[in-house]
Amino acid sequence: MEKALYIHGLGGSGTGSSAANVRKALEGIYDVVANTYNHLDPLETFAKIKEDAENVDVIIASSLGAFYALSLDTIKPILVLNPCVCPKKVIPGLLREDQKKDYDEEKCFEEWDILEEGWADIDSENCAMRFAVFSDKDEYFSFEKEFIENFKNLHYGLKNTKFINGTHEIAKHTDQLKQAFSAFFKYLAELSDADNYGSEQVELNESHLQEKYLNMFFNSGDARQEQLINANFDEIWEILDKAYAYTKNNQRGKGGPGGFTTKKDLYADCLKSNAMIKCIKSGGGKMQAVAIYNLNRGGRKLSLIGGDCEWNPEKGKYVATEDGKKALYKIIKEDIKESGRNFWGEISDAAEILYFFKTNAQSIPQSVVEALMPGKGIQDTSHHEPVKRDKSGNEFENRFDKDYYERPIDGNIHRKVAVTAPENVDKVQDFPLVRYKKRGEWHMSDIVEAAKKRYPEAEIEDLGDNKVSIDGYVWRAYREDELERKAKALIKEIFETSYDDAGLTNFVKDNGGYKDFYKDSYVNDIRISDDSDMFDNMSDEQVIDELEAMDWFIDGYTKEMLDFDKMTDYTYDVDGFSILDENGNSFYEDGYNFIQE
């Protein structure tokens, strides 16, 4: 099931009634993730939200939480409920007494300004994926005008705002939430239709809400991936077999998809090429579109792609269904838009038309293709097509024409062209190999790349066992679970701590006496003793949460004022989640923590 992130408003939480209502409303459609954020610590909160948003498919946010959601530079759909687009204008007057104690107005204003400045870099396509719902009886504020000024949808004339009959806290009222979701999903359906260049509008229904993406990797070593592949491969073969049944001239190709005669042949090739398969299924569980990528040639090299088809007796061939076309468009457009996926593909016929008209894909020079696919018999072609025509007969200069080539496939000569995202045309030869990662699993190729990114001029050598040599010095990349174990051990070594009544001074027990220091603010009132077992029953995620909350143990004040013998070997670095030795010989890059050995 796909995931949705819910971001609460000021004073809310991930366990409050609003989050519960959102979760209930989307039950069976999305698995809702709802965490608690401190909205009065803007940059830190935004960093956490940005991280949480990476692993979901849809984002829903209320009030001040919507400000942070709108600051995300993402193509993912975002629904904002009565968004607080201008927090400086209203938040100071809405704070409760208990919130004022930790509110630093100068800091908040400065950091909100930083986030708002980033809105200028959000492109029009990403703006089109933002949809705002406003209540006609909002008792606090309404920033419809400001939302439109910053995030107006400039595509296809569709309006990405909606007024409903309701109050400010939409998520606390089931009837208002239903109105908001209905308007949001209808907008997405209309946006999808508009993107399909004039096909009929699709009404909101359960199948649109439950559309599901599946990513499957061969040779992953993950039993769940193997089960997923085996459970879906019959449908995958059926989709591709029908999609490739006829060539442009209505003649059956030799063999099946890509020249594979049987499902068994295709499966064997997927194993050989360490393939990745992306599928889209409807809410009813029907396979709508499939793409297979070869991961042995650098990046994601498209091998086969097809959408759901049905037999048309009048035309005497299989033709794509409307749902099949729409799902296929989504896969194609995402591969080109998300340039970081390192996608490239060899295409012809119907696929070529889709990539030409539905994306801004650029062709890859023949010389580069020969280097990417050695031994494939690639040669110049005498067949060119300077002009492309759409369904209405309009002519367009063919941006692929200069890069067509021919090569033998299943005993016949085929004209092909290879394409990628525009920004990747000059990089495609350097695409790294893609490999499946389990949670917490690392690969040496990634570790080496991270080290090169940090020290681009250094001589980097792969030593295996999570170690690299950087100009002759050996560094080890630590796994996350190893860091957590070290952090737990460190915290247990810290002496009993308590607070004064005002909550502003931290007293740390040291050799029977107390040393104290002043800190402007802290998050948690928590007691730690050297024999505490408070972490024993916590999950890794909960431990990290506690460590972040207790940053006053280990920030600069603590290190300067307290001299614990047991803290000299390792000091916990909250920002990077790195363990630093006493000389600070550590660095953090691309999710990897490196420590000099």
DSSP state at residue 252: B
Helix H or strand E segment including 374: none
Class of domain 3-208: alpha beta
pLDDT the model gives residue 442: 57
Among the residues of 202-348, which ranges form H helices? Answer: 206-209, 223-243, 263-272, 322-337
Read off the tokens for 77: 């759909």
**Mean pLDDT on 454-474:** 83
pLDDT the model gives residue 92: 93
- Which band of pLDDT confidence, cut at 50, 70 and 90, is reported for residue 558? very low
Res. 72: pLDDT tops 90:
yes
Residues 6+ apart with CB under 8 A from 276: 215, 216, 217, 218, 292, 293, 295, 300, 434, 436
Using CB atoms within 10 A of its CB, is residue 119 exposed (0-12), middle (13-18) or buried (19+)?
A: middle
Which value, in Å, is the radius of gyration of the alpha carbons in the chain? 28
Residues 6+ apart with CB under 8 A from 565: none
Q: How many CB atoms lie under 10 A from the CB of residue 371?
A: 12
> How far does CA 445 lie from the centroid of its chain?
21
pLDDT the model gives residue 573: 39
pLDDT the model gives residue 161: 93
**Percent of all residues in the chain with a pLDDT value above 70, rounded to a whole number:** 71
pTM: 0.47
DSSP state at residue 413: E
Q: Which has more pLDDT, 567 or 485?
A: 485
SS3 365: coil
Q: Which has more pLDDT, 415 or 501?
A: 415
pLDDT the model gives residue 203: 32
Helices 174-195 and 322-337, axial angle in degrees (round to 10)? 90
Quick: pLDDT tens for 301-322.
999 999 999 988 888 888 889 8
Strand 412-420 versus strand 130-135 pairing type: unpaired
d(CA 435, CA 52): 23
Read off the tokens for 398: 């063919």
Closest to 335 in 3D by CA, of 305, 315, 313:
305
Which is it for the CA torsion 564, 566, 569, 570, positive or negative?
A: negative
pLDDT the model gives residue 121: 76
Quick: pLDDT tens for 518-547.
333 332 223 332 333 444 555 545 544 554
- Which band of pLDDT confidence, cut at 50, 70 and 90, is reported for residue 195? very low
Residues 6+ apart with CB under 8 A from 336: 343, 355, 359, 360, 361, 420, 421
pLDDT the model gives residue 504: 32
Q: Which of 91-105, 380-394, 449-463, 485-499 has the lowest mean pLDDT?
A: 485-499
Residue owning tokens 């606090």: 140
Number of residues assigned to the chain:
597
**Mean pLDDT on 562-575:** 36
Quick: pLDDT tens for 337-379.
877 778 999 998 888 988 998 899 999 999 999 988 888 899 9
Quick: pLDDT tens for 110-150.
999 999 988 977 877 788 889 999 999 999 999 998 998 88
- Architecture per CATH, domain 211-430, reads as 3-Layer(aba) Sandwich (3.40)
Strand 300-307 versus strand 343-347 pairing type: parallel
Mean pLDDT of the chain: 76
Q: How many CB atoms lie under 10 A from the CB of residue 126?
A: 17
Res. 503: pLDDT tops 50:
no
Quick: pLDDT tens for 230-282.
999 999 999 998 888 754 334 444 445 666 778 999 999 999 888 999 988 87
d(CA 204, CA 187): 9
Closest to 160 in 3D by CA, of 137, 117, 126, 114:
126
Residue type, 260: F
SS3 449: helix
d(CA 294, CA 181): 38
pLDDT the model gives residue 134: 95
Strand 578-580 versus strand 571-573 pairing type: antiparallel
Q: Which of 3-12, 59-68, 386-395, 473-482 has the lowest mean pLDDT?
A: 473-482
Helix H or strand E segment including 186: helix 174-195
- Which band of pLDDT confidence, cut at 50, 70 and 90, is reported for residue 592? low
Query: CA of 362: how far to CAs of 192, 246, 404, in Å?
Result: 23, 26, 12
Q: Which of 69-78, 315-324, 435-444 has the lowest mean pLDDT?
A: 435-444
pLDDT the model gives residue 520: 30
Strand partners, 418: 346
Triad 185, 291, 326: Cα angle to 5°:
30
pLDDT the model gives residue 488: 44
Which is it for the CA torsion 442, 445, 448, 454, positive or negative?
A: negative
Contact by Cβ (8 Å): 292, 276: yes
- Residue spans per domain, the chain: 3-208, 211-430, 480-596
Res. 197: pLDDT tops 60:
no
- Which band of pLDDT confidence, cut at 50, 70 and 90, is reported for residue 18? very high
Closest to 595 in 3D by CA, of 576, 577, 578:
578
pLDDT the model gives residue 468: 84
pLDDT the model gives residue 565: 34
**Mean pLDDT on 34-54:** 94
